[in-house]
Amino acid sequence: ATYQSQQRELRQQSDFLRNKSIEFNKYANDLKSLVEREEKITSEHGELNGIRKRLVQLQSETESLHDQVSTMEAYSQLVNKAAEYLKKQKPNICPVCKNQIVPLNIAENLRQEISRTETGAKILELTQTLNQRSVETRELQRVQVQLEDLTKAIDEARNHLLKCKGDITKHTKLSEVDSEAIENHMTQLNSKLDQLTSSLDKLAQEKLRLENVHSEQERLEESLSDLNREIRSELMIENDAELLEAISEALRDAERKLDKFRKLSSRLQDFTKRVERLEQILGFLLLETEVLRLEAQFPELEALIRSETEKYEKLAKISDGLIQIRQAALEEQRSFITHMMHDLESNINHFYKKLMGHPYYSDISLDSETQRNKNIYWIKARGADHKTHVRTRFSNTQLNATAIAIFNSASTRFPHNLDFVIFDDPFQSMDQHHKDSLTKKIAEDAKERQIIIATHENALLDRLQDSIRPGKTVKIVDWSTRGPEIS
């Protein structure tokens, strides 16, 4: 109950301080804003007392100016007042003759007429001074009202702030009240409240545990009472003395049996240890038997190991020999293909130039290198300054021309049993100049061997037929199970 009372008190203090903190911060911010506004106005127009003195001075100056104007001649005053009226009211109808007028033009004319006389000019000058004093007076009166309102609001905000500080000091005993002190005190209150709440939770848990213990104790007492009744009923004993004697006798009998059991348990443990030693001896004898059996087989195992070792050594020698053969074969292959490529190079470049391969890279070369025990062959193009891989710089048309040049050269230089070549759509991706060059080259090669072309370029086929000697071309127009149809 004491902890709960403390918890309620701390919560009330925390809630009170939280609300007062919000109220304190609001009044402090309002006061700061009001003071800033007051400082801004006073920096522009001066202090309130100075403004009041200036207003009194302006009032005196204005009365003096009015007195000076009133002493001037009546005509000039009348004209000046008429000009002022027209300038301020801007009527479209003349108030005297009731005709349409332009008020600003007439006002300006009246001013010029007044300025022609010395008295009129003096009245104009005094009137301008009066207008300036009137504007200044209105502005200072407006500022005076603002400063008076701000002063009143500042006083109210300070009174509220002082009252709020007094309430906080009364409830918290803080010697100095500001936002930081309030925040620190609230933090301390919340910390105490958390500790008290934790203590209450622990007490609640302990209370629950004690209630459970008490319930268990009551259950055990009830069970003991039931057991007491059952024992009495079983032994047919009425009073507690006889029951106690019977229980004591039963306990003595149980102790004798327990002692006997301990002796039997000790003998059983000795027997178990003997059995374990016998099992260890049996295991040793079995291991000894296995060792003897293995020793009998040892010569056969040695012979088998020697045989397998000899096989392994032979296989290792064969593997070394195969590696050397493979390296020699790779080297021989590389040497053979390198010489063969050098032999083909001039022929390839002959075909390549005929097909207008590339405008900058005028020659083709075949290079080889060995990487990770593999021979790799590259097709490179040579320009005036450097080489490049054809796949990195050539267009599809130029790649096509390069491939046809290599294929055509290889088919003419390598020995084989076929006296013909087959082109599958050789004109693909080519522009008209390359198509014309390839058509001309095929027509030249057709004089030496048979050439078979599969293409959809019917116009190029017609040009080929015109370029090749009559009677030397055939065209397969269809194909069926009976064979090709030739036109």
For every one of its 487 residues, what pLDDT tens digit does the chain have, with 9 covering 90 and above? 576 777 777 777 777 777 877 887 888 888 888 888 888 888 888 887 888 887 888 888 887 877 776 655 454 555 666 767 677 777 777 776 777 777 677 667 766 666 666 666 676 677 778 788 888 888 888 888 888 888 888 888 888 878 887 777 777 766 676 777 777 777 777 787 778 788 778 888 888 888 888 888 888 888 877 777 777 676 666 666 766 777 777 778 888 888 888 888 888 888 888 888 888 888 888 887 877 777 777 777 778 888 888 888 888 888 888 888 888 887 887 777 777 777 777 777 777 777 765 677 777 777 777 777 777 777 777 777 777 777 777 778 778 888 888 888 777 766 665 678 888 888 888 888 888 888 888 888 888 888 888 888 777 777 777 777 666 677 777 778 887 787 7
CATH architecture of 418-487: 3-Layer(aba) Sandwich (3.40)
Regarding pTM above 0.75, the answer is no
**23 with 188: CB under 8 angstroms?**
no
pLDDT for 208: 87
How confident is the model at residue 237, as a pLDDT?
A: 65
What pLDDT does residue 112 have? 66
Nearest to 160 by CA among 317, 356, 23, 364: 23
* The predicted structure's pLDDT at residue 336: 74
Contact by Cβ (8 Å): 441, 354:
yes
Question: What's the pLDDT score for residue 77?
Answer: 58
pLDDT, residue 471, reads 60
Q: What pLDDT, on the 0 to 100 scale, is given for residue 239?
A: 67
Domains of the chain: which residue ranges?
A: 10-175, 418-487
Question: How much is the pLDDT for 92?
Answer: 78
Confidence (pLDDT) at 116: 60
> In the structure encoding, which two tokens stand for residue 276, read together?
């374990």
Report the pLDDT value the prediction gives residue 388, as an integer from 0 to 100: 78
At 52, which amino acid appears?
R
Read off φ and ψ for residue 357, nearest 5 degrees: -60, -60
